[in-house]
Amino acid sequence: MTYKEKRFTGERALFSLSDCEIADCIFDDGESPLKHSKRIKLSDSSFQWKYPLWYSEDITLENCTLHDTARAGIWYTHSITINDTLIAAPKTFRRSTGIRLKNCDLTNAAETFWNCSDIELENVVASGDYFMMNSSDIKASHFRLSGNYAFDGVKNAEITDSKLITKDAFWNTENVTVKNSYICGEYIGWNSKGLTFTDCTIESLQGLCYIDGLVMKNCRLLNTELAFEYSSADAEITTDIVSVKNPYSGTIRAKSIGELILDPERIDPDATTIITEE
């Protein structure tokens, strides 16, 4: 079955639809138009109201648009591929799995990707706070984000060739690797385990603290103060560090450290090896 050049209104307009193609259609006023849908291919279509794809399976969107009014759009949905699509609505993904996004813009991504798993992002741009909270098994490449408190509680993630402007990113994470990326924001990485940065440039105030098993390989720390507090770290930094405060253990290598604070009442100064070119 194929729907083409149609306008749908009213609640649950195509409820429980399966094995169908939808092209050049508009889903206007009416909640949950494709709730419980399965094996649907959408192209060049738009969603203009709330909850368009809940409890759905095996969904494909190509060159579609989710307007700002299509909030909370994709919840409890499994196996969904979205390409060349504009998502202008917040809270778009919740408790969903098997999500693939390529060449997409998420212009209002506040509280998006919460409690999701098996996620792949390629050439995706997102703007909004609290992105990707408590999600797992994530791969993101050429990803650009502007929004604070990103990736809180994330597990098993790999981010490459990306740019992130985000305060308080990567809190409470486990087994996260970031490669060849730029990160700017305060208090990066607190309370995390197994956090690795490779070939990254990082700017942070009081970042990289309270981390168990922090690894940094060939990284640059720009305008970074009070770093590594209470962290166990194996850090290879190719630039100067403005200040380092009370690392818990490990090795920190840097071009130089402007101020090194080692308070024996707080930590064991001999538990951390500090190596500089000076």
- What is the DSSP secondary-structure string of 193-214? EEEEEES-EEEEES-S-S-EEE
pTM over 0.75? The answer is yes
- pLDDT band of residue 119 (cuts 50, 70, 90) is very high
Q: Give residue 103's Cα distance to chain centre.
A: 15
Decide: 135 and 114 in contact? Cβ < 8 Å.
yes
Beta bridge mates, 8: 27
- pLDDT band of residue 124 (cuts 50, 70, 90) is very high
Residue 244 half-sphere exposure toward CB, CA atoms < 13 A? 28
When pLDDT is averaged across residues 142-152 and rounded to a whole number, the result is 98
Please name the helix (run of DSSP H) or strand (run of DSSP E) that holds residue 75, with its range, or none.
strand 74-75
pLDDT digits (tens, 9 = 90+) for 55-106: 999 999 999 999 999 999 999 999 999 999 999 999 999 999 999 999 999 9
As a whole number of angstroms, the distance between CA 176 and CA 174 comes to 6
Closest CA to 129 of 166, 104, 94: 166
- pLDDT band of residue 11 (cuts 50, 70, 90) is very high
Q: pLDDT averaged over the chain? A: 97
Portion of the chain with pLDDT greater than 90, in percent: 99
As a whole number of angstroms, the distance between CA 31 and CA 148 comes to 30
Q: What are the helix and strand counts (H, E) for the chain?
A: 0, 29
As a whole number of angstroms, the distance between CA 116 and CA 278 comes to 47
Least confident stretch, 22-26, 52-56, 274-278: 274-278
Report whether pLDDT(211) > 80.
Answer: yes
Q: How many residues does the chain have?
A: 278
When pLDDT is averaged across residues 137-147 and rounded to a whole number, the result is 98
Decide: 102 and 84 in contact? Cβ < 8 Å.
yes
pLDDT digits (tens, 9 = 90+) for 217-229: 999 999 999 999 9
Report whether pLDDT(278) > 80.
Answer: no
Residues 6+ apart with CB under 8 A from 82: 60, 61, 64, 99, 100, 101, 102, 104
When pLDDT is averaged across residues 114-130 and rounded to a whole number, the result is 98
When pLDDT is averaged across residues 253-276 and rounded to a whole number, the result is 96
Ranges assigned E (strand) in 107-266: 117-127, 136-141, 144-146, 155-160, 163-165, 174-179, 182-184, 193-198, 201-205, 212-225, 232-237, 240-245, 249-254, 256-261
- pLDDT band of residue 258 (cuts 50, 70, 90) is very high
Q: What is the CA radius of gyration of the chain?
A: 22
Beta bridge mates, 257: 241
pLDDT digits (tens, 9 = 90+) for 14-38: 999 999 999 999 999 999 999 999 9
Portion of the chain with pLDDT greater than 70, in percent: 100
Beta bridge mates, 37: none
Decide: 186 and 204 in contact? Cβ < 8 Å.
yes
Closest CA to 33 of 62, 18, 19, 53: 53
When pLDDT is averaged across residues 35-59 and rounded to a whole number, the result is 98
When pLDDT is averaged across residues 237-242 and rounded to a whole number, the result is 97
Report pLDDT for 259: 96
